Amino acid sequence: LRILFSTKMAHWLSFHPKRPWILTSLHNGVIQLWDYRMCTLIDKFDEHDGPVRGIDFHKQQPLFVSGGDDYKIKVWNYKLRRCLFTLLGHLDYIRTTFFHHEYPWILSASDDQTIRVWNWQSRTCVCVLTGHNHYVMCAEFHPSEDLVVSASLDQTVRVWDISGLRKKNLSPGAVESEVRGITGVDLFGTTDAVVKHVLEGHDRGVNWAAFHPTMPLIVSGADDRQVKIWRMNESKAWEVDTCRGHYNNVSCAVFHPRQELILSNSEDKSIRVWDMSKRTGVQTFRRDHDRFWVLAAHPNLNLFAAGHDGGMIVFKLERERPAYAVHGNMLYYVKDRFLRQLDFNSSKDVAVMQLRSGSKFPVFNMSYNPAENAVLLCTRPSNLENSTYDLYTIPKDADSQNPDAPEGKRSSGLTAVWVARNRFAVLDRMHSDAGVKNAVPAVGLKLNDLIQRLQLCYQLTTAGKFEEAVEKFRSVLLSVPLVVVDNKQEIAEAQQLIAICREYIVGLSMELERKKLPKDTLEEQKRICEMAAYFTHANLQPVHMILVLRTALNLFFKLKNFKTAATFARRLLELGPKPEVAQQTRKILSACEKNPSDAHQLNYDMHNPFDICAASFRPIYRGKPVEKCPLSGACYSPEFRGQICRVTTVTEIGKDVIGLRISPLQFR
């Protein structure tokens, strides 16, 4: 198998018929929409309560349907990114949901032992199929005929004729008859759908059944560890053969849409590929710790998806592009165990050499040496440890009718390429590729990573390394927009992280600026005290606020502004400083209380709430006009509108934007 894409956690799968998308449903009730080509999560849909077991894309409309353990069927519009409506009627877990390829119908199978057909345009149940006497594990429409196949834990596979339902719904007055028939449908069932065939042969409950896309065949998988092939005609259906090899319950089995192959997966942690004509296994893929639960085939491409305990994989059975090499006007490529040569000028295509037999795996890649007229052909099986390469010298007088089969030299290696006229390099098995090639465009930055980096910023602040701390805080702040979070709590945590970084950047920048100011004149000393006082209104950690309050207390005491200094002393004592700091603070407080007055008037009113302008480091009192940074929320006086924010250094002050968007929840 060639794995193209994998994710964590998946309970059900559905390919989009045209776009490189796949829907996965999770056990926690979330439905995820992935781009398997870019390996990125496009959207999430979260309204089900409990596991979602059945999802399916509509073939033409921007819709998909889901069914869950909450007994609800939901129809979603992925363009509008919301649920359009909910269909109620089932009385137990819903196992599968499928759209009809032509009519506005949805087919659902449930643990309430019934199968229901719904009209998603009128949003009503149009038919209930009863007959199974145990959980109905799956039900699917036939790709071209008026048939439904279902599998149940009652050990049977049933084929239903729904031609009566089609005629009823296409006849005049269909809507009226549909509405009138709802009560009868719910209570007793109708003759709109009748059992055509009952297939008995499994010894335990049947988990899956599916039609062949073009032939009158059905495949089924059951808890008896067997995959059975059935054939049917107008009058009867019978068992054709059984594929044995799984050693635990078979979860799912599907026909290959374009080849005579069957794919099945099982709780034995394997996917098996069976040859329909020989009834033998031709390929097996295993996982060490994960049981497989579901298989999905792409309607148009040779792609498959499998869901397991640990997630989901999208894969191909084999490499489809032939190995090739181009030199000048010649294309060399491998086809049907022959090395062929195509002349671009004349379009002449000839076989120049027959390859040695013995390898059942196709050639993975080719490297051509024009100087020696030689090729390196690499074969890569599913187990990379068994990879080999062959060295061939192309005959000069090749006969296209009867090409020679020269003896090649074979050795082990992942890949071999020519690096000089008579030398080639081999990639050994122990090589580990851990670079850009293995990276995916998924966001690797997590909120917890930023929180850990925040702790380093705190340590730098405690150590007095303010300049370095400002840069680290800014780095954390600018990383927040790169994070993707899943819920409202994490959104709030990200916004709180931005606020913390803003407070520290503004406060530390102001402290650095204060330390640069001269202290010669009284006005300069007053300005230093003002900036120290402003810093005490920043939202800091208690250990840092103690340091800030001590600085402001000492400065105001020296300036003989005893009343304000006493306020700083009381705030400092409330934070519970070390005993020696508390003792010194009480002495200063006692001295201030003996003369509770301020010798100098400052631009500082502790009782009037204010924000600090991050550019001028002056207060903007409540009620005054203010401009803000759209990312950090830093405040500025109106004259700084349109300038670059001093906190982020990348955003425009006062710019009108939609705000931080780091979760799909914020787009709904």
pLDDT digits (tens, 9 = 90+) for 542-555: 999 999 999 999 99
Average the pLDDT over each of 239-248, 421-430, 459-468, 617-626 and give the range with the smallest value. Answer: 421-430
Cα distance between residue 82 and residue 80, in whole Å: 6
The letter for the amino acid at 112 is D
Question: 3-state DSSP: the chain helix, strand, coil percent, rounded to 5?
Answer: 25, 35, 40
- pLDDT score for 125: 93
Q: What is the pLDDT of residues 191-207, one digit of tens each?
A: 678 999 999 999 999 99
Quick one: residue 347, left, alpha or beta (phi over 0 = left, psi -120 to 50 = alpha)? left
Q: Name residue, tokens 């304000």.
A: 564
pLDDT interval class at 109 (50, 70, 90): very high
Cα distance between residue 133 and residue 114, in whole Å: 9
Q: Would you say the C-alpha torsion 352, 355, 360, 364 has a positive or negative sign?
A: negative
Q: Is 318 helix (H, G, I), strand (E, B) or coil?
A: coil
Q: What is the pLDDT of residues 267-325, one digit of tens each?
A: 999 999 998 888 888 888 888 888 888 999 998 888 899 988 888 888 887 777 788 89
Averaged confidence pLDDT in the chain: 86
- pLDDT score for 184: 37
- pLDDT score for 441: 46
Average the pLDDT over each of 323-327, 386-390, 608-612 and give the range with the smallest value. Answer: 386-390
Q: What is the pLDDT of residues 6-47, one digit of tens each?
A: 555 567 899 999 999 999 988 888 999 999 888 888 999 998
- pLDDT score for 487: 85
Average the pLDDT over each of 380-384, 465-469, 634-638 and give the range with the smallest value. Answer: 380-384
More confident residue, 411 or 434: 411
Decide if pLDDT at 517 tops 70.
yes
> 87 pairs with which residues across the strands?
73
- pLDDT score for 393: 87
The letter for the amino acid at 615 is A
Identify whether the C-beta of residue 469 lies closer than 8 Å to the C-beta of residue 504. Answer: yes
Identify whether the C-beta of residue 352 lies closer than 8 Å to the C-beta of residue 392. Answer: no
Closest to 198 in 3D by CA, of 144, 117, 131, 109: 131
Average the pLDDT over each of 176-180, 268-272, 527-531, 663-667 and give the range with the smallest value. Answer: 176-180
- pLDDT score for 618: 93
Q: Name residue, tokens 């805080």.
A: 473
- pLDDT score for 400: 56
Q: What's the mean pLDDT in 174-180?
A: 46
CA distances from 637 to 504, 526, 538, 645 (A): 19, 21, 18, 12
The letter for the amino acid at 71 is Y
Show Cβ contacts of residue 405 under 8 Å, excluding neighbours closer than 6 positions. Answer: 353, 354, 355, 356
Identify whether the C-beta of residue 304 lies closer than 8 Å to the C-beta of residue 296. Answer: yes
Q: What is the pLDDT of residues 142-164, one digit of tens each?
A: 999 999 999 999 999 999 999 88
Q: How many CA within 13 A on the CB side of residue 216?
A: 12
Identify whether the C-beta of residue 31 lies closer than 8 Å to the C-beta of residue 82. Answer: no
- pLDDT score for 364: 81
More confident residue, 396 or 208: 208
Q: What are phi and psi of 468, to 5 degrees?
A: -65, -40
CA distances from 626 to 381, 506, 599, 632, 646 (A): 66, 16, 31, 14, 15
DSSP states of 548-591: HHHHHHHHHHHTTBHHHHHHHHHHHHHT---HHHHHHHHHHHHH
- pLDDT score for 153: 95
What is the percentage of the chain residues whose pLDDT exceeds 70?
Answer: 90
Cα distance between residue 432 and residue 430, in whole Å: 6
| Domain residue ranges in the chain | 201-295+305-320, 324-427
Q: What is the pLDDT of residues 112-144, one digit of tens each?
A: 999 999 999 999 999 999 999 999 999 999 999
- pLDDT score for 61: 93
Which of 70-84, 289-303, 370-384 has the largest mean confidence? 70-84
Decide if pLDDT at 186 tops 50.
no
Strands, DSSP E only, in 249-335? Answer: 250-255, 261-266, 270-275, 280-286, 292-297, 304-308, 311-316, 324-327, 330-335
- pLDDT score for 176: 46
pLDDT interval class at 434 (50, 70, 90): very low
Q: What's the mean pLDDT in 447-462?
A: 90
pLDDT interval class at 446 (50, 70, 90): confident
Decide if pLDDT at 171 tops 60.
no
- pLDDT score for 410: 83
Q: What is the pLDDT of residues 313-360, one digit of tens each?
A: 888 877 777 888 998 888 988 887 888 888 888 888 888 888 876 566
Q: Name residue, tokens 């335990």.
A: 204
Show the tokens assigned to 161: 């004729």
Cα distance between residue 601 and residue 580, in whole Å: 31
Closest to 365 in 3D by CA, of 354, 355, 376: 376
What is the CATH code of the structural domain delimited by 201-295+305-320?
2.130.10.10
Helix (H) or strand (E) holding 489: helix 488-516
Q: What is the pLDDT of residues 227-237, one digit of tens each?
A: 999 999 988 99
The letter for the amino acid at 498 is I
